[in-house]
Amino acid sequence: MTETYLQAFAADATVPAEAVPGWLEALRKAGIERFAAVGFPGLKDEDWRFTPVAPIARTPFAPARPPAAPVERAALEPFLFGHPEWATLVFVNGRYAPELSTRPALPGGAEVLSLAEAVESRGELLAAHVGRHALAETTPFAALNQAFARDGAVVWVPAGVELAHPIHLVFVASADAGGTVTHPRNLLVVERGARAAVVESYVSLGGEGSYFTNTVTEVAVGRGAWLEHARIQREGDQAFHLGYTHVDQDQDSHYRSFTLAMGALLARHNLHARLNAPHVETLLYGLALTRGDQLADNHTAIFHDHPHCNSWEVYKSILDDRSRGVFNGKVFVTPEAQKTDAKQTNRNLLLSPDAKVDTKPQLEIFADDVRCTHGATVGQIDEIAYFYLQSRGIPRERAQTMLTCAFAAEVVDEIAIPPVREYLTRLVTERLGGDR
C-alpha cells in the first residue's frame, strides 16, 4: 500500500495552508521519492526478517486528525512525572498542543518548541540539522517520516548551558486515533559543553483500532556536551510503532540512552549512534516488556569511527505469553578507531514457553588494538533462585515477580536522572506486578 502514502503526499502538496521553506520542501520530496523507490520492507529483507510489517503495509492509514473531543490535561497525568513546572511539550495525534504543554523560561536561552514553530524562528538551526543525522536511506520508514515531517519537538540547548530539569516530550494518541498515522519528527541539539536530559514518551489514551506512529528523532551532541535521553514507548495495545533515533556525537561528549518498550502490538526502534571524534562515551540501555501477541524489536548500531571511544550497551527483554522479541546490535569499528572499548550485552528472560526471542550481536571490527566484547543470553528464572526465595516463605508467584523486577532493575537503575529513574522504576514495577 505504498500508494496510500503517495496519494496522501500529493494531496498534502495541494494544501498551501502552511508556509514551508525550500529546504524542508526539498527534504520532504526526497523522502517520498526514496519511499516510492524502496517501498515497505518484506521478510526477505535481512534487516526485517523477524519483524513482519505487512500489517502496516496493507492498512491504508489516513493522515492523523485532531481528536473529536479535546484532550483534558487530567487524562495525561498518568504519563507525567517530576514537577508540574518542568518543561513539557505535548503533541496530540502528531500535532503540537500548546494548551496541554508547559513552557517555562529555560536558562541560557535554551528553547523547547514545536517543529512548526522552529521552522519560523529557528530556520537556520533546522536547516543545519534536520535530515542531516537521520538519513532517509536508513530505513523505508525514515524516508516516509521525512516525506511527512510536519510537526514534532525541537530542543535546543546552546553552548555551555546546563538545564537543571529534564524536558519531557509527550506524544499522545487520542482515543479516536484508530486508522490514522502520525510522523513526529524531533530534533535535539545540545551544543558544546551543554548538559541536558530529555524524555520522549509515546502514549495512548485508549480506544479501538490500530494506529501507526512513525517517528524519527535526530540528536546532535556537541563537543564536551552531555545528554541523558530516555524513550518510553507505551502505545496502545493494537498500535504499530516504528521509531528511528540517530545520534551524532562530537569529541569528549557523553550520551546515555534508556529505551523502554512496553506498548504497541508491533514495535521497532532503531537507535544509531555515530561517534564522530575521539574520546566519546556512548551508553545505551534498553528494556522491552512484552506479553500477549506483542512484538518488540530493538536494532542498535554504534559506529566507532575514531580512536579512544567507549561504548557500553545493555539491552534486556522480559517476554510473557506468545510475545516475540528481536534484538540486533551492530558495532562497527573502523581501522582508525584504535583503543576502542565496546561492550554489548543482550539478556532475555522468558516467562512463558511460548515466548520467543531472536537475538543477533553483529560486531565488525577492523582495528586491531581494541577491546570489544558481546554476549547474549536467553533463559528462564533459575530454579535455585525460586527455591531460595520460597525457602524464606515467599510464594512462588511473588518470587517470580521479585526476580523479574530485579532483572529489569539492573538496567532501569542505570538511568542517571533520579526523577526519571524513580518514575520508570515505578512504571516497570507496576507493569510486572511488583510492589516497590
**Which residues are at the interface with another protein (CB under 8 A)?**
382-396, 398, 402-403, 405-410, 413, 436
Q: Give the alpha-carbon dihedral of 7, 12, 15, 17, to 10 degrees.
A: 170
Beta bridge partners of 331: 302, 363
3-state secondary structure at position 428: helix
- Residue 109 or 375: the one with the smaller Cβ distance to another protein is 375
- Residue 112 or 405: the one with the smaller Cβ distance to another protein is 405
Report the nearest approach of another protein to the CB of residue 397 (Å). Answer: 10
Report the nearest approach of another protein to the CB of residue 410 (Å). Answer: 5
- Residue 241 or 347: the one with the smaller Cβ distance to another protein is 347
Could you say which DSSP state residue 2 is in?
H
DSSP 15-37: --SS---HHHHHHHHHHHHHHHH
Q: Which residues contact 432 (CB under 8 A, 6 or more apart)?
A: 289, 318, 401, 404, 405, 408
Report the nearest approach of another protein to the CB of residue 351 (Å). Answer: 16
Report the nearest approach of another protein to the CB of residue 35 (Å). Answer: 43
Report the nearest approach of another protein to the CB of residue 39 (Å). Answer: 44
- Residue 99 or 397: the one with the smaller Cβ distance to another protein is 397
Measured between alpha carbons, how far is 242 from 269 in angstroms, rounded to an integer? 6
- Residue 312 or 386: the one with the smaller Cβ distance to another protein is 386
- Residue 157 or 381: the one with the smaller Cβ distance to another protein is 381
- Residue 372 or 403: the one with the smaller Cβ distance to another protein is 403
- Residue 65 or 436: the one with the smaller Cβ distance to another protein is 436
Give φ, ψ of 347 to 5 degrees.
-125, 135
Report the nearest approach of another protein to the CB of residue 87 (Å). Answer: 32
Measured between alpha carbons, how far is 375 from 157 in angstroms, rounded to an integer? 36
Q: Give the number of other Cβ atoms within 10 Å of residue 210's Cβ.
A: 21
Measured between alpha carbons, how far is 398 from 389 in angstroms, rounded to an integer? 9
**Cα dist. 94→90, 170, 382 in Å?**
9, 10, 44
Measured between alpha carbons, how far is 333 from 343 in angstroms, rounded to an integer? 12
Report the nearest approach of another protein to the CB of residue 353 (Å). Answer: 18
Measured between alpha carbons, how far is 7 from 92 in angstroms, rounded to an integer? 24
Report the nearest approach of another protein to the CB of residue 307 (Å). Answer: 33
Cα torsion 372, 378, 383, 387: sign: positive
Q: Give the number of other Cβ atoms within 10 Å of residue 181's Cβ.
A: 25
